[in-house]
Chain A
Amino acid sequence: MWGYIVRRLLQALIVLKGVLVITFLMLHLTGAPAEMLLPEDADIEDVEELNKLMGFNDPLITQYGRFFVSALKFEFGESFRQGEPAMGLVLDRVPATAELAFAAIFVSLIIAIPAGVVSATRRNSMLDHGSMIGALLGQSMPNFWLGLILLLTVSLWLDLVPSHGRGTFKHLLLPAITAGLYATARITRVLRSSMLEVLSEDYVRTARSKGLRNTIVVYKHALKNAAIPVVTVIGLELGIVLGGTVVTESVFAWPGVGRLTVNAILNDDFPVVQAAVFFLAFMFIFINLTVDILYAWLDPRIRFD
C-alpha cells in the first residue's frame, strides 16, 4: 500500500509541475505579455517600462525560474484591480466554492440514489422510464440554463428562495441543484446499471430465498455492492462539479473562486487568473489523488496495476 501511495504521490508532483509550466506559459502565449497586462491605449514606452519591471526581456527559462520559486510560496503577484495578493483573494473565496461543490454532490446523491435504485428494481416501469428520461434531459441541458429557469420559477415567480447571494440554506439550494445537474444525471445512470448487475447475483437470490424482506435485500445487500462504481463516479464528478461551479456562481452571484476567476478573466487581471487556475488545478489533483488512494484501499487489486 505504501509503495502505491508513494508512486501515486510522485506522479501527482510531476503533474503539478506540468500545471505550473502551463500556468506560466499562458501569459506568454501571445508573445507580448506586457501588452496583455496594459490597457489598450498604452504606448511603447509604457510597454518597455513594464517589460523591465516584470523582467519580460529575460530569457524565458529565467522568468520561469522566478515564477516557479514564488509559486512554491503560493505567490502569484498582486491583483491589478484590487492591489492585494492574488492568491489571498482566491483563498478568501475558497469556503464559498467548497460549500457549493459539496452541497452539489450531496443534492445529486439525494436525488440520484433513490432514482437509480427504483429504476433498477422496477425495470421498465413508468418510474424507470421517467428517471431515465430525466437523466437524459439533465445531461442534455446547459446547467446555467437550468439555473436561470430555477431562478425564474422558484425564486422570482414562486418567491420561495432568494435569487442570489450566500448565507442561509435557502441561498444554497438552487445553486447546489444547478451545479450538481450533470453529477445527478450521471450517478443515476451508473447506479441503475450497477444495481441491475448486482440484483442478478447469486447472493441476492440467496437473500431473497431466505425470506428476507425486499427492502432489506435491495438496500442492505444489493445497494452496498452496487455502490462501488458510484464511489468512483463521485470522485470524478467532484472535479467536474468544481469546474461547473464557475458558471453556476456567475448565474447566482455566488461569491466563490469561479466567479472571481471569470471576473478576473474579463478584467484582464492576470495574477488573479494565474493564481485561480493554479489553485483549482491543485485542488483537482488533490481530489483525484485522494480518490485513487481511497479506491486502492477499498479494492487492493488496483495497487498492483
Chain B
Amino acid sequence: MRGWIRASALIEETVSATEAGLMEQMRTEEMTPEEPHVLVAACRSLIRHKVGLVGAIVLIIMGLLAIFPEFFSPYNPLDQDPRLGAMPPWFTNPATGKFHILGTDAIGRDVLSRIVHGAQVSLTVGLSVVIIAGTIGVLIGLVSGFMGGWVDNVIMRIVDIFLAFPFIIIVFSLVAILRPSLFIVIFAISVRTWIVYARVVRGSVLSVKEQEFVTGAHAAGMGILRIMFVYVLPNVVAPAVVIGTLSVGRMIIIEASLSFLGLGVPPPTPTWGGILADGRAYIDTAWWICVFPGLAIMMTVLSTNLLGDWLRDFLDPRLKALD
C-alpha cells in the first residue's frame, strides 16, 4: 500500500513519460530493497501493537472453531436429553459420565458444543457481508466518483434512499419476505451495507482524480478503465479495507440480532443469537444459556475491533477520522 502511494507520488514528477516508462518506474520503486515486503512489515507492526495481536489470536481461534467445529466441540450440538435439561456449568452426568463445562440448555444440549458450532454462521455472515458489500460498494463508489456528472448524481441519490432506512428495519423486512436462510441473511445485510463503502470511496476518488499522476495517465492516452483500476483504485482502497475490518464485528451483531428475533438462519443450525433466544425463556432459572453465547459474541466482535484499530494505524493513521 505504501509502495503504491509512493509510486504515485513519483509518477507525479514524470507526467510526460510514456506509459511503459510509468509502469517501469512503479515496478522499480516497489522493489527497492530498503523497505521490507508489506506482509513482513504488517507482521512486525502487529507484534508491536499488543492489543491488535490479542485480537488477531482470538480471531484465529474463532476461525479454527468455525472451520473444524467437530474437532473442538465435546459433543454433537444437536444431541438432546430432556431429562438433563438446564443443568448448570461444571455438570457431570452421573449416568453417562459426560462432562458439560458450560452446562446444558433447556432440552439438554451441550451449551459449549452449540457455541462452538455457532461460530460458523457468525463468522461466515460477518466475513461474507464485508467481502460482498465491500467489493460492490468500492466499485460503485469508484465509478460514481470517477465518472461524476449524472452517473454520480443518480448513484448518490440511490445511496441517500438506502441511507434513509433504519438499518435493522430494512434487513429484517428483507429477510422476512425472502424467508430466512444463510444466503438470504448475507444478501439482506449486504443490501444495506454497500453504501457505506460507496460513499467513502467516492469521496477519496474525488480528490485522487484531480491529482497530477491521474492527469498524466490521461495525457499518456490510457483508457478510462485502466486509469480507474490501475491508478485510482489502489489509492482509495485503504479506507474501505479499514471500514471493512471494523465492521465485521457489527455484522456479527446484526446476524445475532436477526437470529435472536427468529429471523436468522433457521434451527436446528446453532447460531449464537439463536442459543440466546432459546435461553431467554429460562433466564431466571438457567442464566448460563444466555450469558455464554453473549460472551462469545462480545469476544469475537471486540477482537475484530482491536484488529481493525491496528490495521487502521498500520495503513494510514489519518483514517482515525473514520472512527
- Stretch of A18-26, A53-61, A70-78, A165-173 that contacts chain B: A18-26
CB of B165 within 8 A of CB of A148, answer no
Interface bits B17-42 vs A (CB < 8 Å: 1, else 0):
00000000000000000000000000
A156 and B284 contacting across the interface, CB-CB below 8 Å: yes
Q: Is the CB of A189 within 8 A of B298?
A: no
Known contacts A148-B280, A247-B257, A280 near B166 by CB under 8 Å = yes
List chain B residues, Cβ under 8 A from A206.
Answer: none
Q: Does A302 contact B (CB under 8 A)?
A: no
163-179 of chain B: CB within 8 A of chain A: 164-170, 172-174, 176-178
At the interface, yes or no: A95 with Cβ under 8 Å from chain B? Answer: no
Determine whether A94 belongs to the interface, using a CB cutoff of 8 Å to chain B. Answer: no
Interface size on B, residues (CB 8 A): 41
Say yes or no: B283 contacts A148, CB within 8 Å. yes
CB-contact partner of A273 in B176, B256, B261, B294, under 8 A = B176
CA separation between A268 and B178, bound complex, in Å?
Answer: 11
Contact call A285/B164, Cβ cutoff below 8 A = yes
Check if B290 is an interface residue, CB within 8 A of chain A. yes
Segment at the B interface, from A104-112, A114-122, A132-140? A132-140
Rounded to whole angstroms, the CA-CA distance of A19 and B172 in the bound complex is 16
In the assembled complex, the CB of B195 is this many whole angstroms from the nearest CB of chain A, namely 13
Secondary structure call for the A interface: helix
Task: Check: A200 CB closer than 8 A to any chain B CB.
Answer: no
Q: In the complex, how many angstroms separate the beta carbon of A15 from the nearest chain B beta carbon?
A: 5
Given the contacts A152-B290, A189-B323, A277-B170, A144 and B165 also touching, CB distance less than 8 Å? no
The answer to whether the Cβ of B263 comes within 8 Å of any Cβ in the partner chain is: yes
Find residues 244-286 in chain B having any chain A CB closer than 8 Å to their own CB.
Answer: 249, 253, 256-257, 260-263, 273, 276, 280, 283-284
For residue B158, CB closer than 8 A to chain A, the reply is yes
Query: Which of the listed residues A140, A144, A261 has the most CB atoms from chain B within 10 Å of its own CB?
Result: A140
The answer to the question of A98 belonging to the interface, with a C-beta cut-off of 8 Å to chain B, is no
A145, B260: Cα distance in complex, Å: 10
**In the complex, A247→B158 CA distance in Å?**
27
Chain B residues with CB below 8 A from A250, complex form: 260-261
Q: How many residues of A contact B (CB 8 A)?
A: 48
Chain B residue at minimum C-beta to C-beta distance from A36: B177
A243–B167 contact, CB under 8 A?
yes
Q: Does B160 contact A (CB under 8 A)?
A: yes
**23 A-B pairs whose Cβ atoms sit less than 8 Å apart in the complex:** A15-B160, A15-B164, A19-B161, A26-B174, A26-B177, A30-B177, A36-B177, A136-B302, A148-B294, A152-B283, A240-B167, A243-B167, A246-B168, A246-B169, A250-B261, A265-B176, A266-B261, A273-B173, A273-B176, A277-B165, A280-B165, A281-B165, A285-B164
Interface residues of A (CB under 8 A from B): 11, 14-16, 18-19, 22, 26-27, 29-30, 36, 136-137, 139-142, 144-145, 148-149, 151-152, 156, 189, 239-240, 242-244, 246-247, 250-251, 261-262, 265-266, 268, 273, 276-277, 280-281, 284-285, 288
Chain B interface residues toward A at CB < 8 A: 157-158, 160-161, 164-170, 172-174, 176-178, 249, 253, 256-257, 260-263, 273, 276, 280, 283-284, 287, 290-291, 294, 297-298, 301-302, 305-306, 323
